[in-house]
Amino acid sequence: MATQVVLPETITRAGADEMQERIAAAKAALGKRLVVLGHHYQRDEVIRHADFTGDSFKLAQAAATRPEAEFIVFCGVHFMAESADILSADHQKVILPDLNAGCTMADMAETDQVEDCWEQVTSEIGEDILPVTYMNSTAGLKAFVGRHGGAVCTSSNARAVLDWAFRQKPRVLFFPDQHLGRNTGYRMGIPLPAMPVWDPYEPVGGLEGRDLPAARIILWKGHCSVHNRFTPDMVDRRRAQIPGVQVIVHPECRFEVAQKSDAIGSTEGIIKTVQASPAGTKWAVGTELNLVTRLARECAPERQVVSLDDCFCVCSTMFRIDPPHLLWVLENLAEGRVVNQVKVPPRTTREARIALDRMLEIR
Ligand code: 13P
Ligand code: SF4
């Protein structure tokens, strides 16, 4: 992966207002040649410049709706920019404002680890298994899934993708997020013992002999460092503090937290559920803080919205996309220099596209 250059002082020394004005001016100069996509976890000073906002599923679709745009500036993290590159046309260039905006969850499953797991699992139980990867994974893993007949899923379609997968094969290998896999599988009626966890750092994934043949979903030992911080105690505390509060959490939260909550919802699902709730409703939301703060502002004063916890639950890699980096890429593009392009190699693109297209076709 290319490294992020240090930004010049002409950018870093600009004041906050000047930066906002220069971002708007560079965007205007680029006109229809540019589309800016912003994930819901982005900070206010960045997301206000987005032409499309959404969760990773919606943004993957949005990238395909602007074929006339030469540049897709993705205010999100690296795996999202890779997916946009895979799904966009050849003439389009995808730009990530800070190349250090990775994802700790995506880093928890490397392609060779998953290939090694696949080899061991299939030699033990045969080919009656399909791989499903969460969108939050590298392009290399999506390509692996494409090669083996599986599909990508996001938090908003995990159930539909797993239903589809079980129509093909009796078992699924699901990576990298164990919590999304477990929360979704359990709601489909799969008991917890039928969802063992594969630890890539243990021999035979740390599993016992009988675990594999009895498994319906083999979960990967990965998690999101933001959502993993929510605990069942926090649910109890909010219920005690705010009588009548309803708790809604992202499916990347731990099983015990999801079980104690009133609802689970993808990023987009949380926003829709809270916005559609009657006036007077109170919500404690277990997801990234930028989203919760914005939702609280938009819903006030009719509805009360608070974070599930007072912890500073921001995604530190999403937070790397800041006004200086956005300004730097936009001014470079406006002056004819393409910086921070995320380009997936052709073979990986072809194979990963199969897995992404399968996801987009599943209803
Ligand atoms: P979604 O956008 O699919 O809800 O995923 C949440 C997330 O963690 C993004 O990195
Ligand atoms: Fe990765 Fe979690 Fe941040 Fe999403 S919120 S980018 S899964 S670390």
Tell me the C-alpha to C-alpha distance, in Å, between residue 84 and each of 96, 144, 238, 353, 359.
11, 18, 38, 10, 14
Q: Residue 180: what pLDDT?
A: 98
Q: What is the pLDDT of residues 104-124, one digit of tens each?
A: 999 999 999 999 999 999 999
User: Is the minimum distance from the CB of 156 to ligand 2 under 6 angstroms?
Assistant: no
Average pLDDT, the chain: 96
Residue 338: which residues within 8 A CB-CB, separation 6 or more?
71, 93, 95, 332
Q: Where are the domains of the chain?
A: 9-101+317-346, 106-225, 227-307
- Which band of pLDDT confidence, cut at 50, 70 and 90, is reported for residue 210? confident
Q: Residue 65: what pLDDT?
A: 85
Q: Residue 1: what pLDDT?
A: 67
Q: What is the pLDDT of residues 218-271, one digit of tens each?
A: 999 999 999 999 999 999 999 999 999 999 999 999 999 999 999 999 999 999
Q: What is the pLDDT of residues 5-58, one digit of tens each?
A: 999 999 999 999 999 999 999 999 999 999 999 999 999 999 999 999 998 888
Q: What is the pLDDT of residues 53-85, one digit of tens each?
A: 998 888 978 877 888 899 999 999 999 999 999
Return the best residue to mutate from 267, 313, 317 for the ligand 1 pocket (most ligand atoms within 8 A of CB): 267
Domain 227-307, architecture per CATH: 3-Layer(aba) Sandwich (3.40)
- Which atom number of ligand 1 is nearest to the Cα of residue 40? 2
Average pLDDT over residues 157-183: 97
Return the best residue to mutate from 82, 107, 136 for the ligand 1 pocket (most ligand atoms within 8 A of CB): 136
| Centroid of ligand 1 to alpha carbon of 214 (angstroms) | 30
User: Is the minimum distance from the CB of 224 to ligand 1 under 6 angstroms?
Assistant: yes
Ligand positioned closest to the Cα atom of 318: 2
User: Is the minimum distance from the CB of 273 to ligand 1 under 6 angstroms?
Assistant: no
Average pLDDT over residues 290-296: 97
Q: Residue 58: what pLDDT?
A: 87
Q: Residue 211: what pLDDT?
A: 86
Q: Residue 2: what pLDDT?
A: 78
| Centroid of ligand 2 to alpha carbon of 220 (angstroms) | 16
CA distance 110 to 200: 9
Quick one: what percent of the chain has pLDDT higher than 90? 92
9-101+317-346 and 227-307 in the same fold: yes
274 and 248 in contact (C-beta within 8 Å)? yes
> Which has more confidence, 169 or 1?
169
Residue 40: which residues within 8 A CB-CB, separation 6 or more?
47, 53, 54, 55, 267, 268, 271, 288, 290, 291, 294
Q: Domain 9-101+317-346 has what CATH class?
A: alpha beta
Tell me the C-alpha to C-alpha distance, in Å, between residue 296 and each of 33, 269, 282.
34, 15, 10
| Centroid of ligand 2 to alpha carbon of 174 (angstroms) | 17
* Maximum pairwise Cα distance, the chain: 63
- Which atom number of ligand 2 is nearest to the Cα of residue 106? 1
Ligand positioned closest to the Cα atom of 102: 2
106-225 CATH pick, 3.30.930.10, 2.102.10.10, 3.20.20.240, 3.40.50.10800 = 3.40.50.10800
User: Is the minimum distance from the CB of 246 to ligand 1 under 6 angstroms?
Assistant: no
